[in-house]
Amino acid sequence: MKNKNKTAFITGATSGIGEATAKLFASNGINLILCGRRKEKLEVLQKELSDKTEVYILSFDIKNKKAVFEAVESLPKEFSEIDILINNAGNAHGLEPINEGDTDDWDAMIDINVKGLLYVSKAIAPKMVEKKSGHIINIGSTAAKEVYPNGGVYCATKHAVDALNQAMRIDLHKHGIRVGAVHPGLVETEFSKVRFKGDESRADNVYKGFDPLTPEDIADVVHFVVTRPYYVNITDLVIVPNAQATATILTKE
Ligand code: 8X3
């Protein structure tokens, strides 16, 4: 790497908030390590952003503990100093009452949203501790702050992200590492398509009749957070579209 700019490691970089954050960071000269399962999408993004910044891609599934540690270990020297970790990868699977939920959906959400976030953090935080600097942003959700009908397990995983965000800050602040969370409400991404297993009309309906947030709105906030002076730590932000008062109160036209 030729420049001395910061390097950010972004999980779930192939779409939505992760992709928008990658693009904004690239425009601002932040070097990127982009992670996701879809190698072809990562390659397209790498090609698109390479004229703006240095981009390295890592294709792995954060559910796979071994793959996470191997991927981080495999980073070339120029990309091995990570300044910013964006724990963005996360999904919802299904929207069912607890008595009807699919246990495979529960496993997937717990494995990705909680265990995957922990594996990535464990792979990277020790390096930050060693150099006594770093910034970890955990992407939570309004579901980290409230529980809503039929979203029990998703909400539980995001409450866990909220708890881990606090725990990481408690444990890492003495090493000079900043930790904070950004909690988005309704953002129009692939989120609902994944939740409803490809049922596009059900997914589209979630964002109809009001102006949802865009991934770029959240990327802006993340960029603001990571560009504060080193002595400023923004610990917790909740961002919703103006039409949304709470997880369950939404005014549609
Ligand atoms: C995404 C927001 O309201 O679908 O985390 O849970 S919501």
Cα(134)–Cα(132) distance, rounded to whole angstroms?
7
Say how many Å lie between the CA of residue 121 and the centre of ligand 1.
Answer: 23
Pocket test for ligand 1, best of 186, 239, 240 (most atoms within 8 A of CB): 186
Cα(138)–Cα(173) distance, rounded to whole angstroms?
15
Domain ranges of the chain: 7-239
Cα(174)–Cα(133) distance, rounded to whole angstroms?
10
* Residues in the chain, pLDDT under 50: none
Options 56, 154, 230, 231, the catalytic residue: 154
The residue contributing the CA closest to ligand 1 atom 5 is 141
For the stretch 60-107, pLDDT in tens is 999 999 999 999 999 999 999 999 999 999 999 999 999 999 999 999
Is 154 a catalytic site residue? Answer: yes
The residue contributing the CA closest to ligand 1 atom 2 is 185
Residue 196 structure tokens: 């409803």
Position 151 scores a pLDDT of: 98
Position 1 scores a pLDDT of: 52
Share of the chain above pLDDT 70, in %: 99
7-239, which class in CATH?
A: alpha beta
Residue 119 structure tokens: 């594996």
